Structure 1
């Protein structure tokens, strides 16, 4: 970076902690601690109001998230239950995405009315706690037509799929658009994934090096494998030399101000 170049002009790194719920809180907190051992960077916490797995201490989680907000982090609505319970169609693609890829894609096949109902229940849960929320990220990054239709009725600034950062319309802000930004992520649940995903993340980070945004998504199982955690720390440390860390909501505000990312109407991508 030359001496006159503003850090604000640099590309952005967004680090998010997924699947935040009482049952996963200890692992999520350890992920955040590992990231902050590298740098005091802002995080986006993807919170599930009624996570399908019981357990944990809700009061302890909420106290932790209050502290996160106080230090400048962001809380994101991450579905409502994080479990796909809709009937499955016969298509091979759908069966793979909603079976082999993930059984937690809650919004993969919901009709618009039910998707809207769950989003509203999630927003009500946030409002009861006085927590701001500007983003919605569907579990497993899966959204069907119904979920996309439902999103149009809410005042979110953004959503994300695995491949794109989607700038939504917001209140009176036009029509929205999307930015290509595949997420760096680890496949911690099987041995082959644990071996391959760090290599794939390195290749993806290299390919995205000069793009406006790199996203790193961390999940609770990642913390159980020191090799993955060390790789995430090394990746963040390396990227911070060239990227500015910010929350997804802050990045959305940057895009809204510049209006530079709008490339097509938002919808299934």
Structure 2
């Protein structure tokens, strides 16, 4: 309760309850004509029922902090991600330390996902981190892509290799 506050709404759901929420979300995206290709549960907390529901929907992926999972079979692809918890000063400080360490470990990773939350942009410290990180990664030759575009490139590489 102290680490995750209200992020776990998909953590204990049955298949039916998860399907109802996911369908409502998809309907809202359709109403505004927003593209949707995947679903990431808040704080990556998913019940077995949520996983079952995702297998039934026309979505391409979900993720956790270290992987993207192709749906419907949940095949894992290494795709580490940087993410912050910005609700308090101590969380922002710890997030920077952890993110700096992770980025060093992932220097050779084929992809590094950046998981920004709206609250990250409310604080100068976290906003500056994300802007500098993005500038540095671009200067290193990284190419910004959406998850679905990166997955399409991976699929294309696999098909060419086969």
TM-score by length of 2: 0.88
1:30-69 map, 5 Å: none
Deviation of 1:162 (Å): 2.0
Q: 2:29 aligns with which of 117, 126, 141?
A: 126
Q: 1:256 aligns with which of 152, 155, 161?
A: 155
CA distance, structure 1, for counterparts of residue 119 and residue 33 of structure 2: 29
Tell me if structure 1 keeps the 8 A contact 2:80–2:111.
no
Tell me if structure 2 keeps the 8 A contact 1:183–1:215.
yes
Q: 1:211 aligns with which of 95, 109, 128?
A: 109
Deviation of 1:257 (Å): 2.4
Q: Where in structure 2 are there 5+ consecutive unaligned residues?
A: none
User: Match of 1:37?
Assistant: none
CA distance, structure 2, for counterparts of residue 259 and residue 116 of structure 1: 31
User: Match of 2:61?
Assistant: 158
Tell me if structure 2 keeps the 8 A contact 1:181–1:208.
no
Q: Deviations over 1:114-169 (max 9, x none)?
A: 10111111111112222221111111221111101110001111111122111223
Q: 2:130 aligns with which of 229, 232, 236?
A: 232
User: Match of 2:19?
Assistant: 116
Give the RMSD, CA atoms, in angstroms.
1.7
User: Match of 1:223?
Assistant: 121
Structure number, greater radius of gyration: 1
Q: 2:98 aligns with which of 194, 197, 200?
A: 200
Q: How many residues align?
A: 157
Q: Secondary structure at the match of 1:159?
A: strand
CA distance, structure 1, for counterparts of residue 14 and residue 87 of structure 2: 30
CA distance, structure 2, for counterparts of residue 193 and residue 213 of structure 1: 25
TM-score by length of 1: 0.55
Name the structure, 1 or 2, with higher relative contact order (CA <8 Å, separation 6+).
1
CA distance, structure 2, for counterparts of residue 187 and residue 114 of structure 1: 28
User: Match of 1:247?
Assistant: 146
Q: Deviations over 1:163-184 (max 9, x none)?
A: 2111223xxxxx4511233321
Q: 2:49 aligns with which of 126, 146, 154?
A: 146
Q: Secondary structure at the match of 1:137?
A: coil
Q: Secondary structure at the match of 1:178?
A: strand
